[in-house]
Amino acid sequence: MVVGYAYIHQWDRRQAYSYTCEITIYLDKKYTGRGYGRLLYERLIEEIDKTQVHVLIAGICLPNQASVQLHEKFGFKQVSHMREIGWKLGEWRDVGHWQLIF
C-alpha cells in the first residue's frame, strides 16, 4: 500500500541554478503525523550527492502547519511567502518557500 511519496528534481533548467533542487512530498491525509514524511525525507536527504546539490527548495501550499513543521525539523528556513498564486480546492492559495543550504 502506498501512503505517500517524495522526490527531488532540478529546480530550474538554467545553468546558474544547476546546484539547486526542489524536494517534494505528498502524503495521504490519513497518514500524516505518523512519521512517514520524516522517514521519506531522511532517506532522500541521506542520498543527496552534496557535491552536486548545494540548496534544496521546498514549496508549501499554505496553510499547512504539518508540512512547515516537517521541513523546519530538517533545518529548512522560510525564504518567501507569495499570496494567492495557486488555485487549489476551489480557492486561491498562498505558497511559501523554504530552503536548506548544505
pTM: 0.89
Please enumerate in sequence order all residues whose Cβ is within 8 A of that of 28, keeping only pairs 6 or more positions apart, or say none.
3, 4
Enumerate helices (H) and strands (E) in the chain, giving the number of each: 2, 5
pLDDT digits (tens, 9 = 90+) for 17-48: 999 999 999 999 899 899 999 999 999 999 99
Average pLDDT (56-65) is: 96
Q: Give me the pLDDT at residue 50, please.
A: 87
Q: What is the distance between the alpha carbons of residues 35 and 40, in angstroms, rounded to a whole number?
A: 9
